[in-house]
Amino acid sequence: MKKGIIPAISGLLAGFLTAGVFFANTDMGEKTVANASSDAEKVYVPFGKQDEYYLFASGGHSGQLFVYGVPSMRRIRTVPVFTPDAATGYGWDKKSKEMLGGYTWGDLHHPAFSETKGEYDGKYLFATDVANNRAAVMDLKTFTVEDILNVPNTSGPHCAAFVTENTEYLFLPTRFPVPINREYAKLDDFSTKYKGVMSAVTFNEQTKKLELAYQVALPPWSYDLSDAGKKTSADWAVLTTYNTEEATTNLEINASQKDRDYIVLFNWKELEKMVKEGKYDTVNGAKIVNPAKHKGAIYLVPVAKSPHGVDVTPDGKRFIASGKLAPAMTVFSFEKAFEAIKNKKFDGEKYGIPVLDYASVMEREVNPPNALGPLHTQFDDKGFAYTTMFISSEIVKWNVETGETVDRVPVQYSPGHSVAAEGDSVSPDGKYIVALNKIAKDSYLSVGPSHPESMQLIDLTGSKMKVIQTAPVDPEPHYAQIIKADKIKTIEVLPKDEKRPNSVWKQEDARIERKGNEVHVYGIAMRSKFIFDGKAERKDVVTVKQGDKVIFHLTNIDLDEDITHGFAVNAYNQNMEIQPGETKTMEFVADKAGTYPIYCTNFCSALHQEMSGYLLVEPK
Ligand code: RUQ
Ligand code: CUA
C-alpha cells in the first residue's frame, strides 16, 4: 500500500528544516534586486490615489491583524483582535474588555474573509487564536472586532479559520489534542482519552455573534492546515494531520516516524444532517459527533509524512498537499475521492474512520528539481499554482494540469505562506502574489539581533515572476488574504442614533447620576472638551467617593470624518477611543483617592491640549 507515497528522505530534510535558513538562497541564484525605476513605478501610488487591494495579514503572537495596501505595501492600520491595544483603547472599554475575557495576548493565524458563492464578499473577516482557543469576527465596515467566541474542548486551533462557500461555517480543528473539557488525563492514556476536536462555528449576521454549532471528536492527532471545497466539492473540506504516531514527547523526532500521515476529508453537509438527526453526544453543552459511531461523513486520505498546507484549486476539482519532510506536492482529485468512497476503495480504518486507497485518489506527485520544503500553494486565474519553498527560499510556479514547472523566483527568505490577490476565492485575480517570509535577515536597516520579517510583492503580469516591493512585518506573517479594495465599504462616521442606549447628543442632556455607590456619567466628547454634566458650573469634572464604581458612557458627537477622541484617566490605567458618532462605556472602581486629570489622547483640533477635565476621588 505504501507504494506511490513519495519516499521520505526525512533525516536529511529534517536537518534542512532546522538549519535551512542559514543556507537559504545562497545556492539558489541571484538575490532579488528591484529595478529602481520601472518597478518603483508599479508600486507607486501617488497622493490622492488609493491602493488597488487591501491585504490583511495575521499578526501572529501579537494577537493583531495588520492591514496593508497593495501594490504600495504601505501599512495602513493595525486592528487589535485578541490582545489589548493602547492605541485604540481596545481592552479597556466595557465591550472589548468583556470580549477579551481577561486574556492579555493571543496568537492569530490564518485570517479568512466571509464568502458568498465562493467569492470574498467584503463583509467580515474571521480569525482564530492558537494561544487561547478563540474565534473572532471583524466587521469590515468599521475594521473593529464584533465578537469573540471561546471554544471549548479544543487547544490551539491553528488549522483554522477556513470558511465554506457561503460562510455557512468556519471550522476550527485543534493543533494539540486534549481530553474533552481539557480534563486531567495521563499522557499514557493519550490514545484513549485525548481527542483532536474539530469545532464548527456559525456567524449570525443579525446578532453579530459567533456560535458553536457542533464538534467532531477526531483521532488524537495534530491538525495543521485546512481548506474548504469549492463548486462541485463545496460540501467538503480537507485538513492535514501530523503526529499520527501519537507521540507524547520529543515530537521533532517521534512525530516523523511513519512514512505517511493523513488528510482528513469530510462532508460538512453530512455532519450537519447527523447533528439535526440527533447523532451526537452532549458534553458540557457542546454537541459532539463521534465518527466511529456515525459513519459516512469523514474519510482519511494517506499522504507523505508530516504534510503542512493543503489547498483546494479555484475550480474545486483538486486538493494539493505540501510536505515539510517530502520534497513534493501531491495533487489529489476530489472526483477520484468521491468515486473511491462510492466503490468503497478502502485500505482499512483508523479509529473507525475509513482510509481511502492512496492510488485511487492521488493524481500526481509534483517534484520540481532542487525545490525543498514546500509549504503552501496559491493560485492564479490561468491554471497555475504557486508553491512556497521554505528551505530553498523561492516560489515555484507550476501547471496544475500537467505538474510541469514553469517559473521560479527567489525570495528573501524562507517563505511560509504566500497570498495571491483574491487567491482563496473561486476566481483569483492573477495579478499579484505576496511572499510571506519568515526570515528577513539583511533586508532592512539592522535593529539589533531580532529582525522584523518581510512580505515581498511579486508581479505576475510579465513573462517572468518579479519581486517589485518589500515591506517589513513584525512578528512573522502567518497568513494573509488580499481583497479588491472596492469590495470593502467602510463607514466613516457612525450614524447619529438618538435611541442608542446610553448615548447623549445634546450638551444640556449630559448628566451624572448616582445609584448607591455607582456613579453613572452620561457624557459627551467633542472638539475640544468633555461634557460630563451639562448643567454644572464645571461641566468637565466628575467627583466621586473612594470605592465608588464609576461608569462613563461617552458619545463622540463630532460627526466628522477622522475626528476621533480619546479618553484617558491619568494614573488610573484607563484609556479608550471614541470614534465619530460612537458611544463607548468604560467602568472601573475608583479605589484610589486623589486628583486625577482626564484628557483626550487623539489629536483632534488646535485646542486638543485643552480637551481635559478632572476625576476627583474624595477619600473615605
Ligand atoms: S502555518 S508556514 Cu501557522 Cu499557516 Cu504554514
Ligand atoms: Cu479630542 Cu483631542
Each residue of 273-317: pLDDT tens digit?
Answer: 999 999 999 988 899 999 999 999 999 999 998 899 999 999 999
Q: Which of 414, 519, 487, 511 is nearest to 456 (CA)?
A: 414
* Beta bridge partner(s), residue 439: none
In what helix (H) or strand (E) does residue 329 lie, and over which residues does it extend?
Answer: strand 329-333
Confidence at 8, pLDDT banded by 50, 70, 90: very low
Q: Which of 421, 423, 562 is nearest to 69 (CA)?
A: 421
Q: Is 565 in the pocket of ligand 2 (CB under 6 A)?
A: yes
Distance 205 CA to ligand 1 centre (A): 29
Distance 602 CA to ligand 2 centre (A): 5
Q: Which of 437, 427, 436 is nearest to 484 (CA)?
A: 427
Q: Which of 551, 550, 590, 582 is nearest to 566 (CA)?
A: 582
- For residues 345, 347, 353 and 358, what is the CA-based torsion angle, rounded to 10 degrees? -80
Give the three cell numbers for residue 371.
Answer: 525545490
* Higher local confidence (pLDDT), 14 or 59: 59
Q: Is 375 in the pocket of ligand 1 (CB under 6 A)?
A: yes
SS3 194: strand
**Across residues 215-223, what is the average pLDDT?**
97
What does the pLDDT look like over 520-554, one tens digit per residue? Answer: 999 999 999 999 999 999 999 999 999 999 999 99
In what helix (H) or strand (E) does residue 274 lie, and over which residues does it extend?
Answer: helix 268-276
- The whole-angstrom separation of Cα 579 and Cα 565 is 7
Nearest residue (by CA) to ligand 1, atom 4, is 478
How large a percentage of the chain has pLDDT more than 70? Answer: 94
Q: Is 202 exposed, middle or buried (0-12, 13-18, 19+ CB in 10 A)?
A: middle
Q: Is 608 in the pocket of ligand 2 (CB under 6 A)?
A: yes
Residues 6+ apart with CB under 8 A from 35: none
The atom number, within ligand 2, closest to the CA of 525 reads: 1
- Tell whether the model's pLDDT for residue 11 goes beyond 70: no
Give the three cell numbers for residue 135.
Answer: 474565534
Nearest residue (by CA) to ligand 1, atom 5, is 416
- Nearest ligand, measured from the Cα of 540: 2
Q: Which of 4, 13, 10 is nearest to 370 (CA)?
A: 13
- Tell whether the model's pLDDT for residue 13 goes beyond 60: no
Could you give phi then psi for residue 485, rounded to 5 degrees?
-60, -35
Q: Is 361 in the pocket of ligand 2 (CB under 6 A)?
A: no
The atom number, within ligand 2, closest to the CA of 528 reads: 1
List of long-range contacts for 561-567, beta carbons under 8 Å, 24+ apart: 561/492, 561/493, 562/492, 563/527, 563/604, 564/602, 564/604, 565/525, 565/526, 565/600, 565/602, 565/604, 565/611, 566/89, 566/599, 566/600, 566/601, 566/602, 567/89, 567/525, 567/530, 567/598, 567/600, 567/601
The atom number, within ligand 2, closest to the CA of 527 reads: 1
Contact 331/315 with Cβ under 8 angstroms? no
Torsion sign (Cα): 362, 215, 242, 367: positive
- Tell whether the model's pLDDT for residue 7 goes beyond 60: no
The three-state (H, E, C) secondary structure of 141-181, written as one string: CCCEEEEEEECCCCCCCCCCCEECCCCCCEEEECCCCEEHH
SS3 597: strand
Q: What average pLDDT does the structure give for the chain?
A: 93
- Nearest ligand, measured from the Cα of 322: 1
Residue 127's alpha-carbon distances to 130, 139, 203, 571, in angstroms, are 10, 12, 12, 34
| Cell 529534517, located at residue | 14
What does the pLDDT look like over 438-485, one tens digit per residue? Answer: 999 989 999 999 999 999 999 999 999 999 999 999 998 899 999 999
- The whole-angstrom separation of Cα 300 and Cα 265 is 6
DSSP character string of 520-555 = EEEEEEETTEEES-TTSSSTTEEEEETT-EEEEEEE
Residue 325: what pLDDT? 79
Give the three cell numbers for residue 84.
Answer: 489589548
Confidence at 31, pLDDT banded by 50, 70, 90: low
- Nearest ligand, measured from the Cα of 162: 1
* Higher local confidence (pLDDT), 324 or 2: 324
- Nearest ligand, measured from the Cα of 526: 2
DSSP character string of 22-65 = HHTTTTS-PPP---HHHHHHHH---TT---SEEEEEE-BTT-EE
Distance 612 CA to ligand 2 centre (A): 9
SS3 487: helix
- Nearest ligand, measured from the Cα of 311: 1
Distance 533 CA to ligand 2 centre (A): 18
- Tell whether the model's pLDDT for residue 199 goes beyond 80: yes
* Beta bridge partner(s), residue 112: 126
Confidence at 181, pLDDT banded by 50, 70, 90: confident
- Tell whether the model's pLDDT for residue 356 goes beyond 80: yes
- Tell whether the model's pLDDT for residue 387 goes beyond 90: yes
Distance 418 CA to ligand 1 centre (A): 10
What does the pLDDT look like over 224-251, one tens digit per residue? Answer: 999 999 999 999 999 999 999 999 999 9
Residue 32: what pLDDT? 56
The atom number, within ligand 1, closest to the CA of 388 reads: 2
Distance 554 CA to ligand 2 centre (A): 13
What does the pLDDT look like over 564-618, one tens digit per residue? Answer: 999 999 999 999 999 999 999 999 999 999 999 999 999 999 999 999 999 999 9
Distance 399 CA to ligand 1 centre (A): 23
Q: Is 179 in the pocket of ligand 1 (CB under 6 A)?
A: no
DSSP class of 557: -
Contact 195/179 with Cβ under 8 angstroms? yes
Q: Is 341 in the pocket of ligand 1 (CB under 6 A)?
A: no
Give the three cell numbers for residue 42.
Answer: 508599479
Q: Is 417 in the pocket of ligand 1 (CB under 6 A)?
A: yes
Residue 167: what pLDDT? 98
- Tell whether the model's pLDDT for residue 346 goes beyond 60: yes
Q: Is 308 in the pocket of ligand 1 (CB under 6 A)?
A: yes
Nearest residue (by CA) to ligand 1, atom 2, is 416
Q: Is 83 in the pocket of ligand 2 (CB under 6 A)?
A: no
Give the three cell numbers for residue 245.
Answer: 504516531
Q: Is 564 in the pocket of ligand 2 (CB under 6 A)?
A: no
What does the pLDDT look like over 476-521, one tens digit per residue? Answer: 889 999 999 999 999 999 999 999 999 999 999 999 999 999 999 9
Torsion sign (Cα): 273, 279, 281, 282: positive
Contact 249/119 with Cβ under 8 angstroms? no
Helices (H) and strands (E) in the chain, counts: 8, 43
The atom number, within ligand 1, closest to the CA of 110 reads: 4
- Tell whether the model's pLDDT for residue 267 goes beyond 60: yes
Q: Is 109 in the pocket of ligand 1 (CB under 6 A)?
A: yes
pTM score, two decimals?
Answer: 0.94
- Nearest ligand, measured from the Cα of 480: 1
Residue 146: what pLDDT? 98
Confidence at 16, pLDDT banded by 50, 70, 90: very low
Residue 258: what pLDDT? 87
Residue 17: what pLDDT? 45
Distance 479 CA to ligand 1 centre (A): 7
* Higher local confidence (pLDDT), 518 or 32: 518
Residue 5: what pLDDT? 54
Distance 390 CA to ligand 1 centre (A): 11
The atom number, within ligand 2, closest to the CA of 604 reads: 2
Residue 1: what pLDDT? 37
- Nearest ligand, measured from the Cα of 309: 1
